Amino acid sequence: MSNVLDVESLSVEFCVNGNDFYAVRDVSFHIKAGETFGLVGESGCGKSVTSLALVRLLSKLAKVHGNVHYSGRNLLKLSDREMRQVRGNEVSMIFQEPMTSLNPVYKIGAQISESLRLHKKLSARDAFQQALEMLRKVGIARPNEIMDEYPHQLSGGMRQRVMIAIAMVCNPNLLIADEPTTALDVTIQAQILELMRTLSSDYGTSVLLITHDLGVVAEMCDRVAVMYAGEIVEQGSVDDIFFAPNHPYTKGLLNAIPKIDAVTKERLQPIEGNVPSLSRMPKGCRFAPRCANAMEQCKTESPELFDVGEEHTSRCWLSKPKEANA
Ligand SMILES: Nc1ncnc2c1ncn2[C@@H]1O[C@H](COP(=O)(O)OP(=O)(O)OP(=O)(O)O)[C@@H](O)[C@H]1O
Ligand SMILES: [Mg+2]
């Protein structure tokens, strides 16, 4: 299967109070055509910075290194004009908080039609018709009336549906969804996830789904990368990550989520300690200070990603393949 997106050694540096620090370091992954790829990790680990770097929406002050290959082009090398053509058309985004992404002074109909007029050069009338059709597809009741309303007149779940309508209306190749359901209550969350799944399979859209919720990953994704303190620490299929986790951090995350079908009344085990601040990263493995299995080497040397299965990698010295006997 061909890759829609190939991210190679993406790093993002910010300068704070005169000091440079890496918010994202050496992140590599690819997304195959039609698949949903999850990026999961605790708050502050660099998920949003990664996604914003891919589509060049970080401030100019951020230093971005690496390559982002999309459909034969390196997005990091495109001109601003070329990038605007890609964004919202071939690659679209849904963000966590719809109120900050919707423009409060424009009616819903105008906001959905806008990208059709801009990217597909449709007439106002055709764009309006397609926008209305898209509102129907995302399950908005009374779509005719909603076209004529403003964002503040809608509920949170409706706004998120509108965001999805805007993101999907140009039939993108790749959808980047950053915590698309975090702000919603669980029943609405399930409906929105179901809607995203149906639309992505109907349209054949590949999805980069960013979340801190492993339940959402299990529900939606084919493959997943687990991030910790700016780095990918483990990557594999959803089955690998849930049934054969390798990295101590992934195992810790899995032990910290409640299981509804647990037979025993085991207590949840939080991961001891805190995520290190980006300006004070430990020298060796970033997870070492919280890891029960840390060895001397972990405190001084940063591990690379080792193969631990087919398309399954883990950034842990304990998973380094044994040297073959000479
Ligand atoms: N513009 C910026 N300038 C300086 N530091 C930043 C900037 N944007 C993000 N950061 C830092 O980069 C780190 C990663 O932030 P990011 O928003 O990617 O986290 P996240 O994984 O998306 O978290 P959450 O789950 O809370 O959304 C954080 O420590 C954050 O403080
Ligand atoms: Mg975020």
Quick check: helix, strand or coil at residue 110?
A: helix
Atom of ligand 1 nearest to the CA of 45: 21
CB of 276 closer than 6 A to ligand 1? no
CB of 48 closer than 6 A to ligand 1? yes
**Whose CA is closest to atom 3 on ligand 1?**
14
Tell me which ligand sits closest to the C-alpha of residue 57.
1
For ligand 2, an ion, list residues with CB under 5 A. Answer: 48
- The CA 318 to ligand 2 mean position distance, Å, reads 30
Give the separation between CA 286 and CA 120, rounded to whole angstroms: 46
pLDDT value for 287: 95
Asked whether the beta carbons of 160 and 181 are under 8 A apart, the reply is: yes
**Whose CA is closest to atom 11 on ligand 1?**
23
Q: Residue 177's closest CA among 156, 163, 187?
A: 163
CB of 223 closer than 6 A to ligand 1? no
Tell me which ligand sits closest to the C-alpha of residue 43.
1
Quick check: helix, strand or coil at residue 230?
A: coil
Atom of ligand 1 nearest to the CA of 14: 4
**Whose CA is closest to atom 2 on ligand 1?**
14
- The CA 47 to ligand 1 mean position distance, Å, reads 8
Give the separation between CA 277 and CA 280, rounded to whole angstroms: 5
pLDDT tens, the chain, 326 aa long: 689 999 999 999 998 888 889 999 999 999 999 999 999 999 999 999 999 999 999 998 899 999 999 998 999 999 999 999 999 889 999 987 766 789 999 999 999 999 899 888 999 999 999 999 999 988 898 999 999 999 999 998 899 899 999 999 999 999 999 998 887 788 888 888 998 899 899 999 999 999 999 999 999 999 999 999 999 999 999 999 999 999 999 999 998 877 666 555 666 677 888 888 877 888 899 999 999 999 999 999 999 999 999 999 999 999 998 775 54
Give the separation between CA 279 and CA 145, rounded to whole angstroms: 50
Range 283-300 burial, b when 16+ CB lie within 10 A, else e: ebbbbbbbbeebeeebee
pLDDT value for 326: 43
pLDDT value for 22: 92
pLDDT value for 46: 94
- The CA 44 to ligand 1 mean position distance, Å, reads 5
Range 142-153 burial, b when 16+ CB lie within 10 A, else e: ebeebbeeebee
Cα–Cα distances in angstroms (integers) from residue 302 to residues 50, 295, 298, 315, in the given order: 21, 12, 7, 9
